[in-house]
Amino acid sequence: MPYVNTKDILEKASKEGYAVPALNINNLEFLHAIIDAGIEENAPIIIETSEGAIKYAGNGDIRRGAQLFVSMVRAFANTVPVPVALHLDHGKHFNIIMEAIKAGYSSVMIDASEYPFEKNLEETKKIVEIAHSVGVSVEAELGRLVGIEDNVVVAEHEAVLVDPNEAKEFVENTGVDFLAPAIGTSHGAFKFKGEAKLDFDRLKKVKELTGIPLVLHGASSVPEDIVKLAESYGANFKGAKGVPSDILKKAVKFGINKVNTDTDLRMAYVAGLREFLTNNPGEFDPRKYFKTAKEYVKEVIKARMRLLGCSNKA
Ligand SMILES: O=C(CO)COP(=O)(O)O
Ligand SMILES: O=C[C@H](O)COP(=O)(O)O
Ligand SMILES: [Zn+2]
Ligand SMILES: [Zn+2]
């Protein structure tokens, strides 16, 4: 199937009420695992790279990194039976967003969420105009990504979580294709100190008022079996906690269609790598010592595709 616009994948998901994981990569091995998972689940695939990933892949050169990712992803997209999109995650620098668009990314995120509302809106609008003129879709973010802690008063939530009325105004004025509303998640492996919770009322309102596909950042579940496995081979992930599966399912029910996932893949990979290296101390062929790691990443992705409802939606 062809390399597609992320918008096509997400509008179908929004209409039919399921979500697609957006999976971060930094190298070829994670791409293999994602492609294999998508084929086995017959699911649409969204691959994303951060600005840091582009720098890393290009060994310091942004243009080279962006081009490398586009050619890698396109080479697979052209020869697999499921749609594949490539997205720039958390674009914060104008030059990197432009390089991604020029290189041929399917979509870009402009993350100006650290600025006041008006500046976020202006920055986003500027990127939307450029990206849309060449058929690239755009994601933006409203609110700040922080966990909702039990001991934080409501007024403080108000300050960081998305304001649904602002979301409506933002979407109408920018023409953005999908929106990431902050509803209580955060990036990384340590999301909640107490019980995990998200602000579903806010999410419901944002969906009602905007009607566009919504994105959940910081959505990794940090599966306990993966954490335990990695720890049994020497890792230390004390206090790691993600978004539980039932909460993710609820988020999908209330309007989330793109579920950003990086940490879970990293955790699965390192667990597999540690296991293999411990059990095969004489091995030094990377094609062999990456194998178990890739296998675990693939399984984590397949489970997520099933949970989010995008299996057989290719
Ligand atoms: O939001 C993310 C990428 O944009 C990734 O979130 P996690 O750290 O929960 O995997
Ligand atoms: O949202 C952040 C992603 O997990 C990517 O993180 P990174 O900047 O370490 O590549
Ligand atoms: Zn952000
Ligand atoms: Zn994110």
Task: Provide the annotated active-site residues.
Answer: 89
Query: pLDDT at residue 149 above 70?
Result: no
Query: pLDDT at residue 170 above 60?
Result: yes
Mean of pLDDT over the chain: 96
Respond yes or no on whether ipTM tops 0.90.
Answer: yes
The Cα–Cα gap between 11 and 177 comes to 9
Q: What is the mean pLDDT of residues 11-29?
A: 98
Residues with CB under 5 A from ligand 4 (ion): 217, 260
Query: What's the pTM value of the predicted model, to 2 decimals?
Result: 0.96
Q: Flag the least confident range among 65-79, 115-129, 145-159, 296-310.
A: 145-159
What percentage of the chain reaches a pLDDT higher than 90?
A: 92
What are the φ/ψ torsions at residue 181 (nearest 5 degrees)? Answer: -90, 135
Contact (Cβ atoms closer than 8 angstroms) between residue 174 and residue 129: no
Q: What is the mean pLDDT of residues 2-6?
A: 96
Q: Which ligand is nearest to the CA of 186?
A: 1
Q: What is the mean pLDDT of residues 207-226?
A: 98
Closest CA to 222 of 253, 258, 185: 185
Q: What is the mean pLDDT of residues 62-82?
A: 97
pLDDT tens-place string over residues 181-209: 999 999 999 999 888 999 999 999 999 99
The Cα–Cα gap between 10 and 310 comes to 11
pLDDT band at 148 (very low <50, low <70, confident <90, very high): low
Angstrom CA distances, 60 to 11, 29, 66, 85, 203, stand at 35, 20, 11, 24, 38
Query: pLDDT at residue 153 above 70?
Result: no
Binding-site annotation: residue ranges for dihydroxyacetone phosphate: 188, 218-220, 260-263
Q: What is the mean pLDDT of residues 247-270?
A: 98
- 159 or 217, higher pLDDT: 217
pLDDT at 144: 85
Q: What is the mean pLDDT of residues 8-19?
A: 98
Site to substitute for ligand 1 among 187, 226, 227, 237, most atoms within 8 A of C-beta:
187
6-308 classified as CATH 1.10.287.3510? no
Ligand 2 centroid to Cα of residue 188, in Å, is: 8
Q: Which amino acid is at 1?
A: M
Query: pLDDT at residue 151 above 80?
Result: no
pLDDT band at 145 (very low <50, low <70, confident <90, very high): confident
What residue spans define the domains of the chain? 6-308
